[in-house]
A and B are shown apart, each in its own frame.
Chain A
Amino acid sequence: MTESVKNTLLFVVVAGLILLSGFTQSWNTAILILNMGLISAIMAIGVNLQWGFAGLFNVGVMGFVALGGLAVVLVSTPPTPGAWSSGGYGIVLSLLLGAATVVACVLVAQKLPKGRVQTLSIIGILVVGFFIYRAVFDPSAAAVEAINPAVAGNLGGLNFCTEARYCGWLVVLAWFAGGLLAAGAAWLIGKTALGLRSDYLAIATLGIAEIIIAIMKNEDWLARGVKNVYGIPRPYPVVGYEVELQNDPGFLTRADWFGLDPVTASTLSVKLGYSLLFTIVLLALLWMAQMALKSPWGRMMRAIRDNEVAAEAMGKDVTRRHLQIFVLGSAICGIAGAMMTTLDGQLTPGTYNPLRFTFLVWVMVIVGGSGNNFGAVLGAFLIWFLWIQVEPIGLWLMNLITLGLPDGSALKSHLIDSAAHMRLFTMGLILLIVLRFSPRGLIPEK
């Protein structure tokens, strides 16, 4: 069996698994798995770019995914009336002042000679800058948050269309904005943290992700914090709205032709619309990643990964290349995060969890095969399928195990209740087994 036949077979098996859940459970579940699988695949490409190509240990994926979601709110939702005039400009001004403070500190650190004068002036600038920032920021933020707090209280987005629901092109633009926002954050982080050793970088990125989530939870003016943003527009017309589809005579005749009732047909149509768009994005990114891998740039990256010292001796600028690929990979994670928020139709900062959004993506990349884009994509679909299906399987297993126990016994109910927590255990087990017996993953790097 040749390499390519084996790989195709692996993809066919995963597709078969998803189809199987369509036949045995419901098509709704199957398409849900497919859609999140597509998004996970994009995240996996991003992590694979950083880890597989360049050997950068980034465990802050969650932060970039969340930033993508934030960008969707800041771009594709309608603006809150009066938010900008009451405090929006003040917030922007205060943020600029804050940035100016940091820049001033960096300049002082660079220009003044080392010594007590330098240290004191840096501390002075920081203290003065902080108080000016708070003096401008606090009233502005309070003013924005006071506007209709039950449904708004945030700046809102840039969706100035008269019917925000139908501005589909802006939603797609918001995905790219998500990538840009994540890239900007990654540039800032990379500038400070990339010089660190691998495990320090890991801790640093882990911390940054937590900070990003903390900011999104607390800054209500930005995206309502833990009050969540609902009703985020969809990429219309590829993805419609169920109620409208059910009232559309053309759609009803088509649904009838497939032999589906209008409600099922409309939900399936909406989800398939997402699948179509996500597939296009995934294929485009996969193509670009493949091209990058094959190009001289990709070879240079792998050379740096395998031996930094030798690559540096050959005149490669290791720090710059690391920064470059860190930004690129994070941008891809940002795009995936933006797409996920659009798919959910809501931004809920409270649900971001590093186990789910950072470490699970890592499991996908390692299981699929780090350094191989197709491997990362395969791993993403497979692991996401398992992540969803382990719960029903676990429940079935627990019911089987507890068959002999009398009904209503404490142990039986505890075991059945705990079945939901099997997924973390299973993911860890899969990761350890793959690392032990097939450390290069299902589709190894060529």
Chain B
Amino acid sequence: MDLLNALVALANFVLVPAIAYGSQLALGALGVTLIYGILRFSNFAHGDTMAFGAMIAVLVTWGLQAVGVSFGPLPTALLALPFAILGCIVLVLITDRLVYRFYREQKAKPVILVIVSMGVMFIMNGLVRFIIGPDDQRFSDGARFLISARDFRAMTGLNEGLAIRTSQALTVVVAVVAVALLFWFLNKTRTGKSMRAYSDNEDLALLSGINPERVVMITWIIVAALATTAGVLYGLDKSFKPFVYFQLLLPIFASAIVGGLGNPLGAIAGGFIIAFSEVTITYAWKKVLTYIAPESLAPSGLVQFLSTDYKFAVSFVILLIVLLFKPTGLFKGKVV
């Protein structure tokens, strides 16, 4: 029985990765939920928007590395992030101007917009593959660990090490800053308030003189910034691969729906719920249980509920349970 070691093992293999992953999902889900709240459709191209933003960050990072610029212990990609956000904003604004605006003026049904976003998804996916190729790209540099497992063991004298990678710590810090900025913007500024008003009741907002095109433009700008940030953080934490971003669509949507589509707070909660369930259900608990249980009861197997390849299944089952019992999500979402 060794509670302290069990706790450290738990933190190392479950808590830290899940918090980092949850922050990435939350940022992604915020983008989805904002689009749903303001433009009123589920944006299937969101994963590929993230990939596009991250791709620009990768390219700019390579450029900066080539001219010898670095950010000390922090990854150079952080310096590239503003450029990537700018590039992504340009892309989504062009897309909105050329594609979505037409259907908005027609007041097309949401499902048509979803199909349109499928087309945009193809195009963005093609663009990313065209520019950077379909392969894995590594672009993280700087110090790898904030605390490495060995240092932690030496510091505390415990058997278990607690490793926190720079990318994980960075993810959480950046996500907190981004979310704080977003909520300050939505709740305190005039533009943010007009966005919320537009989301709550479109007709009433129009009557009170809110310019819908401006609201939509600002929404896209925010979404592009969030998507790029999420994409870059995910890429730093794991690695950049276009197809993986496409597959992230499912957990991101699950997070947004579980929290209640159109509700920013719900998106954050949903992101962490999905991330924690994925990690805990696919983690092999043998190590933690061996510390907690008395020796005679030590587990013989891995005590893994599902193999890691079933992580999609986890987010999906949670999604289904929430939808069956609380159709608008945990936090009250909106219905179009």
Contacts and interface: CB of A to CB of B under 8 A. Distances in A.
Interface stretch (A164-172, A228-236, A402-410, A427-435): A427-435
Interface string B172-199: 0000000000000000000000000000
Contact of B319 (A57, A199, A203, A353): A203
A432 B99 contact: yes
B121 interface: yes
Contacts of B41: 199
B119 A193 contact: no
Q: Interface residue tally of chain A, by bracket?
A: 35 or more
B120 A432 contact: yes
B134 interface: yes
A432 B316 contact: no
Give the residue among A366, A423, A424 with the most B Cβ atoms within 10 A: A424
A214 B312 contact: yes
Interface stretch (A35-43, A150-158, A204-212, A329-337): A204-212
Given A199-B42, A424-B126, A428-B122, A218 B115 contact: no
Given A199-B114, A211-B312, A204 B122 contact: no
A421 B319 contact: no
Contacts of B110: 198-199
Contacts of A197: 335
A196 interface: yes
Interface in A393-446: 417-418, 421-429, 431-432, 435-436, 439
B134 A421 contact: yes
A93 B73 CA distance: 56
Interface in B108-129: 110-112, 114-116, 118-127, 129
B318 to A, nearest CB: 10
B133 A426 contact: no
A134 B150 CA distance: 36
A200 B110 CA distance: 12
Interface in A226-267: none
Contacts of B335: 197
A217 B309 contact: yes
B309 A57 contact: no
B126 A200 contact: no
A279 B120 CA distance: 33
Contacts of A354: 246
Contacts of B112: 435, 439
A200 B257 contact: yes
B90 interface: no
Interface string B43-72: 000000000000000000000000000000
Contacts of A435: 112, 115-116, 119
A214 B126 contact: no
B207 interface: no
Interface string B321-336: 0011001000000010
Contacts of A366: 115
B323 A207 contact: no
Contact of B121 (A200, A428, A429): A428
Given A203-B253, A425-B123, A432-B99, A418 B118 contact: no
A200 B319 CA distance: 10
A214 B309 contact: yes
B236 interface: no
A431 B112 CA distance: 12
Contacts of B323: 196, 200, 204
Nearest to B106: A439
A84 interface: no
Interface string B285-314: 000000000000000000001010110110
A366 B119 CA distance: 11
B66 to A, nearest CB: 13
A57 B250 contact: no
A355 interface: yes
Nearest to B249: A206
A197 to B, nearest CB: 7
A218 B308 CA distance: 10
Interface string B83-119: 0000000000000000100100000001110111011
Contacts of A217: 309
Nearest to A208: B316
Contacts of A426: 126
Nearest to A425: B126
Nearest to A192: B320
A286 B241 CA distance: 40
B130 A425 contact: yes
B246 A204 contact: no
A202 B309 contact: no
B320 A204 contact: yes
Contacts of B247: 210
B315 interface: yes
Contacts of B215: none
Contacts of B134: 421
Interface string B236-272: 0000000100110110011001000000000000000
A359 B327 CA distance: 26
A214 B116 contact: no
Contacts of B130: 418, 421-422, 425
A107 B36 CA distance: 37
A55 B109 CA distance: 12
A362 interface: yes
Across chains A and B, which 6 residue pairs bring their CB atoms closest together, nearest first?
Answer: A428-B122, A425-B126, A428-B123, A424-B126, A207-B316, A431-B119
Given A192-B324, A198-B114, A435-B116, 5 more contacts: A200-B257, A214-B313, A353-B243, A421-B133, A435-B112
19 contacts: A193-B320, A206-B250, A207-B312, A207-B315, A207-B319, A211-B312, A214-B309, A217-B309, A353-B243, A355-B125, A362-B115, A363-B119, A421-B133, A424-B122, A425-B123, A428-B121, A429-B123, A435-B116, A439-B112
